[in-house]
Structure 1
Amino acid sequence: MTAIRERTVLFADLRGSTGLYESLGNAEASAMVTQTVSQVSEAVLESGGHLIKTLGDGLMAAFETPRDGVRAAQRMQEMLERTVQRARRLNNPAMLALRLQVALARGEVVELNGDCFGDAVNVAARLIDHAGDGEILITAEVLAGLHRASKGRFRSLDRISVRGRVEPVHVYRMDGGPLLSTDDAATQFGEPMRSVEPDGMRLIWHDLDRVFDIGAMPIVLGRSVQATYCITDARVSRSHARIDWQGSSFELTDLSYNGTYVRFGASGEILSLKRGSCTLHGSGVIGLGGLPTDEQSPIVRFEVLHFADTEPQQPFGSSRSRR
């Protein structure tokens, strides 16, 4: 039977499973991924939702209210975090890389034979591509259905172009950032930034030299003309990466298919984010869709600024533009 109803649609995607297949083999890794997805899907029923289907390393669900959908998204993240913490205690390194991305949209959907179709389904499915590790993204329609106190937990990422849709979507992210412990961040992404909190971020690509203060966050780097920092290169995704202010530091998150690479200083180690995140400190370069060592790749130089300093760090030039 076909029915048209207003629904909150949720997509969740488990990432970081590549290491499982490399270390455990296809059969065991596939069983572990299936088990993990099954565990987090329990949050759907706990929150009064309907599990539409599982999608290999992800799932799709629908809820009557935005509140139920957001509650389920939070529970999923909590469940996966407990799984990762348990793997750490059991010294199971292959599981430590698992992260969950969740996206929710709301609107009219067509319910047919246990499945859902419609614009809200398409938006949620595409929006998952813009989520970083451990993030929960929602549309303005989902935000409108939340209680006032819950709305305060979400921060606007402005309007984002999603694949297959002409009109951009106003997207919000739940505060708190990726669910990575301090130890994880230090292990994966090198030393932490200096203890004095920064005041701004400088980005340079060719002659596009801009300074952003904290109030200008988030910064979306991408090929789209609607990106905060537009880089007109075919190797750059429309929304390729995002820089957020996380309360005391700047965090870079890869949103692309081709990857984002970071090198601190003139000759530091190159970090491959691949849908991951890292804290930006000092100065260095960001490779969008290619390694910073590849001169043909679009390379953005960055500098974390402390406006109390008399001069920005070298090797940046003397010109400066403020947003």
Structure 2
Amino acid sequence: NHIHETFCTEAVSGFDIKISLRIGIDYGEIVTRDNDVFGDVVNVAARIANIAVANQTIVSEKLIMGLSYDLRNKTRKYDRIVVKGKTDLLTLFEVMREDRDVTVMRNSITSTHGNIVQSLHLIYKGKSVTLQSNSKAFVLGRSVNSDLVVEGGLVSRSHAYCVYRREKFILIDQSTNGTFVKTAEGREVYLRREEIPLIGRGTISLGESARMDNGQVLQFICV
């Protein structure tokens, strides 16, 4: 908080501007070399920092577990995300600033519309896979290590993945060529390093539009 306050209240010397920081913190072992730091914890911290907004500090659950009771009370549960290379969701906490009017997050956010999605069915070349609300991140890609291998020259090794978040399944693209999602109504949406909730039924095409009829199209059904 002191870091944020310093940069928010003090203009940069010689310029009439102020700097806002986005801070992400993880806890673990690092490797130092040539005045730089490396390691899994560094990569996770960078991912967390990308989620934070201006003048916000987001920390991992690993860090929270090492704090005193008083310090834990100065944080609040913020979100759960998928980090590339990890199978489990990462729980994040926000460090609350004393000068902010903070909205309290409910412990359990439930749907008020009665249309909670509980499972996702993926169908590809006659193979059917069912994901449940407690399933881990499910990877689609060209790599043999993917949970569902999708062949094709335009398909990245780890092209996209599905996660269950806030009572619905989310498709997250992390590819070079993007992902095309077509709904039952016929509207096709293009994603590249973006995410979209999967609703009802439709198709997922990796690397190019389903209109190209390349045989790399997956069907999805949410129930």
For residues 205 and 146 of structure 2, the distance between their equivalents in structure 1, rounded to whole angstroms, comes to 17
Deviations 1:154-210 (A, max 9, x none): 7585x954xxxxxxx56643469xxxxxxxxxxxxxxxxx74212211001102211
| Residue of structure 2 in register with 1:280 after alignment | 198
Residue 152 and residue 250 in structure 1: after superposition, are their counterparts in 2 closer, same or farther (change >3 A)? same
Which one-letter code corresponds to 1:107 in the other structure?
E
1:7-46 equivalent positions in 2, closer than 5 A: 39=20, 41=21, 43-44=22-23
Which one-letter code corresponds to 1:257 in the other structure?
T
| Residue of structure 1 in register with 2:144 after alignment | 225
Residue 283 and residue 289 in structure 1: after superposition, are their counterparts in 2 closer, same or farther (change >3 A)? same
**How many residues are aligned here?**
174
104, 107, 110: which is aligned to 2:29?
107
For residues 135 and 293 of structure 1, the distance between their equivalents in structure 2, rounded to whole angstroms, comes to 37
**The structure with more helix, counted as a fraction of residues:** 1
Normalising by the residue count of structure 1, what TM-score does the alignment of the two structures yield? 0.44
Residue 117 and residue 229 in structure 1: after superposition, are their counterparts in 2 closer, same or farther (change >3 A)? same
| Residue of structure 1 in register with 2:218 after alignment | 300
Q: Secondary structure at the match of 1:216?
A: coil
Q: Which moved more, 1:242-251 or 1:219-228?
A: 219-228
90, 98, 122: which is aligned to 1:173?
90
| Residue of structure 2 in register with 1:257 after alignment | 176
Normalising by the residue count of structure 2, what TM-score does the alignment of the two structures yield? 0.60
For residues 87 and 63 of structure 2, the distance between their equivalents in structure 1, rounded to whole angstroms, comes to 15
For residues 195 and 281 of structure 1, the distance between their equivalents in structure 2, rounded to whole angstroms, comes to 14
Deviations 1:45-104 (A, max 9, x none): xxxxxxxxxxxxxxxxxxxxxxxx43xxxxxxxxxxxxxxxxxxxxxxxxxxxxxxxxx6
Tell me how far 1:253 sits from its aligned partner: 1.4
| Residue of structure 2 in register with 1:201 after alignment | 120
118, 143, 157: which is aligned to 2:38?
118
Residue 257 and residue 135 in structure 1: after superposition, are their counterparts in 2 closer, same or farther (change >3 A)? farther
Q: Is the 8 A contact 1:109 1:121 kept in 2?
A: no
Q: Secondary structure at the match of 1:258?
A: coil
Q: Which moved more, 1:291-300 or 1:254-263?
A: 291-300
For residues 120 and 249 of structure 1, the distance between their equivalents in structure 2, rounded to whole angstroms, comes to 29
Residue 151 and residue 257 in structure 1: after superposition, are their counterparts in 2 closer, same or farther (change >3 A)? farther
For residues 158 and 221 of structure 2, the distance between their equivalents in structure 1, rounded to whole angstroms, comes to 21
Q: Is the 8 A contact 1:160 1:239 kept in 2?
A: no
Tell me how far 1:228 sits from its aligned partner: 2.7
| Residue of structure 2 in register with 1:268 after alignment | 186
Tell me how far 1:252 sits from its aligned partner: 1.4
Deviations 1:120-169 (A, max 9, x none): 488559x85xx9x9489xxxxx6544317789867585x954xxxxxxx5
Which one-letter code corresponds to 2:128 in the other structure?
D
For residues 121 and 198 of structure 1, the distance between their equivalents in structure 2, rounded to whole angstroms, comes to 33
Tell me how far 1:304 sits from its aligned partner: 0.5
Q: Is the 8 A contact 2:156 2:176 kept in 1?
A: yes
Q: Secondary structure at the match of 2:64?
A: coil
Residue 288 and residue 109 in structure 1: after superposition, are their counterparts in 2 closer, same or farther (change >3 A)? same
Q: Secondary structure at the match of 1:278?
A: strand
Which one-letter code corresponds to 2:187 in the other structure?
E
Residue 174 and residue 294 in structure 1: after superposition, are their counterparts in 2 closer, same or farther (change >3 A)? farther
Residue 214 and residue 124 in structure 1: after superposition, are their counterparts in 2 closer, same or farther (change >3 A)? closer
For residues 201 and 300 of structure 1, the distance between their equivalents in structure 2, rounded to whole angstroms, comes to 12
Percent identity among equivalent residues? 21
Deviations 1:219-268 (A, max 9, x none): 22222333332324342222211222222222211111211111101x52
- 1:214 is aligned to 2:133: yes
Residue 146 and residue 233 in structure 1: after superposition, are their counterparts in 2 closer, same or farther (change >3 A)? farther
